[in-house]
Amino acid sequence: MLLFEEELRYLSSHSAMLTARHKTVAYLWHHHLSVLQLTDLAQLLFPLLDLNNYASFSNKRLKERLSVDILSQALCGPSSQIGHTQSGKPFLVNSPVEISVSHTGNTYALSLSSHPHGMDIEKWNSGPRALKIANKFLSAEEIQLLDAFGYLHSSEKAATLLWSAKEAVYKRFNHSKLQSLNDIRLTLLTNRQLQANVPQIQQSSVVNISLYPHCVCTCCE
């Protein structure tokens, strides 16, 4: 679900949490707020957020963390708090709801679900770099998948999609034996789904693909 600046205030935390019991939903908040505007918004709508917690952050890191924390409070209620495990995996403090976090450019994403999952977003203009290094994160067999997404009309966008899919799988399993994206193998199921296999930990999963004008969102469940 793609949200723009003003739409945030109309979110229902009750509806979001209820939906998370039945399915996984990724909420993408796209905004161009400055750090000052973002902190003003937090103080106005989400007064329980302690802005002192962000004092040591650079402007870029502050925008990323504060944007996701604001999204969390809008979706999960004013008392919600995101914590991180030692490995860096985010979790919702004192809540059974499973989350995943991602950001790219001016878009910040939080996904909610009743079960573990991994979610990633990547902006389309990452495509040139993704295609340039495709042979570093895709096997020879997976390189052929670049042609499987012809509806994107761009090998660069296809590379971005596959990169995002592997990032989502990596977040989903978050295992010490999973050393790099090369440990993940992707095969095509449909034009909106990929099968992911991780031989090192004997796990497999499905990656769902959602397309937006400026980015791709992938979710591994």
What percentage of residues in the chain have a pLDDT greater than 90? 73
* Tens of pLDDT, residues 127-151: 999 999 999 999 999 999 999 998 9
Interatomic CA distance for residues 152 and 98, integer angstroms: 31
Interatomic CA distance for residues 13 and 72, integer angstroms: 9
Residue 178 has pLDDT above 80, yes or no: no
Interatomic CA distance for residues 122 and 104, integer angstroms: 6
Q: What is the mean pLDDT of residues 201-214?
A: 95
**Tokens 């495990």 label which residue?**
85
Q: What is the mean pLDDT of residues 2-23?
A: 84
pLDDT computed for residue 192 by the predictor: 95
Global pTM value: 0.93
* Tens of pLDDT, residues 33-83: 999 999 999 999 999 998 998 889 999 999 999 999 999 999 999 889 999
175 vs 220: which has the higher pLDDT: 220
Q: What is the mean pLDDT of residues 157-174?
A: 95
Pick the closest to residue 189 from 206, 169, 202, 171 (CA basis). 206
